[in-house]
Structure 1
Amino acid sequence: MSDRDALLAFLDKAQTQWPEWVLAEVFVPVPQREQARAWLALRGEWADAAWAGVDPVPGAAKLGWWQEELQGWARNAYRHPLGQVLQKQPVDWATLAQALPALAASRVQQGDLGNALRGLEPVAQALAATAAGLFAAPLPAEAQDVAVTLLGERALRMPPSGVQGALGAAGLLALPRFTDGSRVERIHAALLRRRLQRRRSGRDGASSRIAALLAAWRAARG
C-alpha cells in the first residue's frame, strides 16, 4: 500500500463514521478540505481510543502511542499516514501531545459537569489552539466550548445508560452551542449536536441530509 493509499484509508474511515461531513464540507473553503478531513480523522482516532470499547487498556496504550507520534511531528518526523497532511502545519504539536492524557482520564468521569470540564481543560485548550493554527482562525472565546464537544464525543461512544445527567445527551444539549473559533470546528460541533439530539430521542447515527446541511450552514455563519 502506498503512502497516499494509507492516508485515504484513514480519511475513508472517518467518512464512514461521519457521512454527514461530505455534505457539510461544502461550507469549508476548498483549499482547507483535505486538511479538515485529516484533522477530524485524527480527532476521531483519539476519541475512539479514549472512550470506545469496554476495556480501557488498549485505548490508553493507543493514546500513549499518539503522544510519542505528536512529539515526532514537533521534530518534523511522522509515522502515521495522517502526518502527510498535518505534520508540517505551523502548530504546537508538542503541547498537544502533553495534553492527551486528559482524554484517557475523562473515561471514568461521572455526573459532575464542572469537574468534567475542568479535567478536559488542558486538552481543550490545546485542541483549540491547534485548530486555530491549522485553519488560520481566531481562538474560541472559551476553551470550554471545545471541552463540551469532547464530552459530546464521549457520550456518543458510550452506552446511553452509562452517561446520564449533566454528562448525557440531554444535559449537554442544555449548554450553549459552539459559535466561534474555526469554521471547521463549529461545523463539527453542530453535526455532533445533531447526533446528541438523536440520542436524546432514542436514535443514533447520522442526521438526514437536510438536517445536516442546515446545521452546517448555521454553524458556518457563526
Structure 2
Amino acid sequence: MAGRKTGFGLTQRNRGNDVSSALDSFLDKWRDRWPEWTFVERFVAEGDRARAVAWFALLQEFDDILNATGDTTPQDAKLAWWGEELRSWAAQRSRHPLGRVLEPVRAPWDQLADALPSLMDAREPPTDAAQARKVLAQYAAAAAAVEAAVFNSKLSPAAAEALTTQMLALRVQENAASVPQTFSNEMEWDKALQAAWPSRVAGPRPRRVYAVLARGRQQARIRGGEYQPSPAGLLWRSWWAARG
C-alpha cells in the first residue's frame, strides 16, 4: 500500500531516504562548483562544516535565480516559493532538504524572505557601480544577518558589503549583462571589484575562507589565464583569512 504523500510528493514510508538523497544532491551541486573547498574546509570549525556547505548551497540557489536570463517566470515562481519556505523555517517547519541542516538555527529567516523579491529588480543592468550595490543592499544585509546567526558570530557592519562584492564578482562570470553601463567591459568591472575587495573580508570564518576561493577565481580572470590554484597557495591564503 502506498504511503501518504507529503509536500515533496514523497510517501511517509520512503521520505527519510529520499530526503537524505535530495539533500546530498544539493550539497554535491555546490561542491561540484567549488571543488577547492575540500582543501580549505579544514580551517572551518568541524561543527560548522555541514552548515557552511548547506548555507552556501542555499545562497547559490538565489544567485542562480538572480542570474537568470530570458523568460524568468519559472525562476520568479521559484523565488516566491523560497520566500514561503524561509518563513516556514522561522517556525521550524521545513519542506526543502536544506532545511534539515539550516532550519534548526534560530536566524532572521523572515528578513531574508522579505528581501528575496529585490533580486528580481537586481537583474536589470545597473547604470554604475553604486547602483549595482544599492539594488543588492537589502538582500545582502538580510543574508549577512542570517549568516552571522548560522555561524554564531557577531554581525560585522561590513559583512553585507563583503557579501555584495562577492555576489557581483561571481555574477560577472554568469551574466555579462550585469556589468554596469559606465564600464566598457567585464575586465574593467572585474578590476574595480577587485580593488574594493580586501584580501581578508568581514564576516564569520566560513565566509572569509569562501571569499578566498571566489577572489582567486576573479584574479585568474583578470590575469586572463585559467584558474589553477596550487594547493599550497590555497592553503596558505585560507589559513591567513581564517585567522580573522
TM-score scaled by length of structure 2: 0.82
Shift of residue 179, structure 1, vs aligned partner = 2.5
Distance 2:233 2:65 in 1: 28
Distance 1:54 1:205 in 2: 29
Partner of 1:151: 168
Partner of 2:107: 91
Distance 2:53 2:21 in 1: 15
Aligned positions of 1:1-222 closer than 5 A: 1-142=17-158, 143-159=160-176, 163=179, 165=183, 168-177=189-198, 178-203=200-225, 207-222=229-244
More displaced 10-residue stretch of structure 1: 140-149 or 117-126: 140-149
Distance 2:237 2:179 in 1: 24
Shift of residue 119, structure 1, vs aligned partner = 1.4
Distance 1:101 1:198 in 2: 32
Distance 2:229 2:106 in 1: 34
Aligned length: 221
More displaced 10-residue stretch of structure 1: 170-179 or 130-139: 170-179
Shift of residue 40, structure 1, vs aligned partner = 0.7
More displaced 10-residue stretch of structure 1: 169-178 or 14-23: 169-178
Q: Give the AA of the match of 2:99.
A: G
Check 1:202–1:60 CA distance in 2 against 1; reply closer, same or farther (3 A cut): farther
Shift of residue 127, structure 1, vs aligned partner = 0.9
Check 1:187–1:84 CA distance in 2 against 1; reply closer, same or farther (3 A cut): same
Q: Give the AA of the match of 1:10.
A: F
Check 1:125–1:9 CA distance in 2 against 1; reply closer, same or farther (3 A cut): same
Query: Per-residue displacement from partner, 1:172-211 (whole Å, max 9, x unpaired)?
Result: 1010325322011111122111111122223466644334
Shift of residue 163, structure 1, vs aligned partner = 2.6
Check 1:58–1:196 CA distance in 2 against 1; reply closer, same or farther (3 A cut): farther
Distance 2:64 2:93 in 1: 24
Asked if 2 retains the 8 angstrom alpha-carbon contact of 1:73 and 1:87, the reply is yes
Q: Give the AA of the match of 1:97.
A: A
Shift of residue 20, structure 1, vs aligned partner = 1.1
Asked if 1 retains the 8 angstrom alpha-carbon contact of 2:89 and 2:103, the reply is yes
Query: Per-residue displacement from partner, 1:98-137 (whole Å, max 9, x unpaired)?
Result: 0112222212233411112121111111111111101111
Identity of aligned residues (%): 37
More displaced 10-residue stretch of structure 1: 19-28 or 58-67: 58-67
Bigger CA radius of gyration: 2
More displaced 10-residue stretch of structure 1: 118-127 or 54-63: 54-63
Distance 1:200 1:42 in 2: 28
